Amino acid sequence: MKKILSAFIVMIVLMIPRTGSAQQINWRNLTGNKTHLLNVNMGWDYGSVAGIGYGQKLRTKLPVVVNVEYSSPFGKKQFDDFKTKLAVQAEVLKLGDLSVSVKIAAIYRRYENSYATLSGYGSEFSTNIGYYRPRWYAAGLVGFDKAISTHIKNGEPLKDTYPGIQDGWYVPTAGNFSYGIVSGYSIRRNDVYLKFGKTVTQDLKTVPASPFFLQIGFNRRF
């Protein structure tokens, strides 16, 4: 039963929206007094997903943005499945138009169905490397999303099938590597971007049933 439960945990965690929801920034446009970023996005990430975010550029020598993000899949119940992030991202290297940025995030996510309710904490590390200009940019991205600790509250169907099953915390659970490309175009205080990529689980062998993610996003700088 323990092996069956472990497999169930991993399967469910891997269905929760992953790094595809991360807010993208054109670092060449984040200048002057336009230090606030409002983001809306939608796309495909194991299913149809929509998200919002807000970022604030700090007054530091190194370009740094602190942001919060929320994403949720489309469905009848809008708030039973979701993911939230508190993140810090920075442009750590600039050589002409070449830019390297990194992002570190703390994650809280929730997933619910008739079998179980999962609430978990995790972390994310990602990096973008690409060519950035004031009007447009294109970059490659690599990320790792780790579900560090997950609490499971079992539903009646599982309790009926496995009477001895217990609620509780499980550490660790699962993780995903993701990679892809992102490109954006800027008009005045507005940025539009398109991101596409693929995910593989942390063993680098297993591919999720829906491995590709796609996101279209819009930033408003003010």
**In terms of Cα–Cα distance, which of 21, 67, 84 is closest to 216?**
21
Mean pLDDT of 77-85: 81
Question: How many structural domains does the chain have?
Answer: 1
CATH number of the domain within which 50 lies: 2.40.160.20
Q: Which domain holds residue 139?
A: 2-221
Q: What is the pLDDT of residues 114-146, one digit of tens each?
A: 888 999 999 999 999 999 999 999 999 999 999
> What's the rounded Cα separation, in Å, for the pair 124 and 188?
31
Q: Is the pLDDT of residue 16 over 80?
A: no
Contact 83, 105 (CB under 8 A): no
What's the mean per-residue pLDDT of the chain? 87
Contact 139, 27 (CB under 8 A): no
Residues 90, 196, 85, 49: what is their CA dihedral angle, to the nearest 10 degrees?
160
> What's the rounded Cα separation, in Å, for the pair 55 and 119?
25
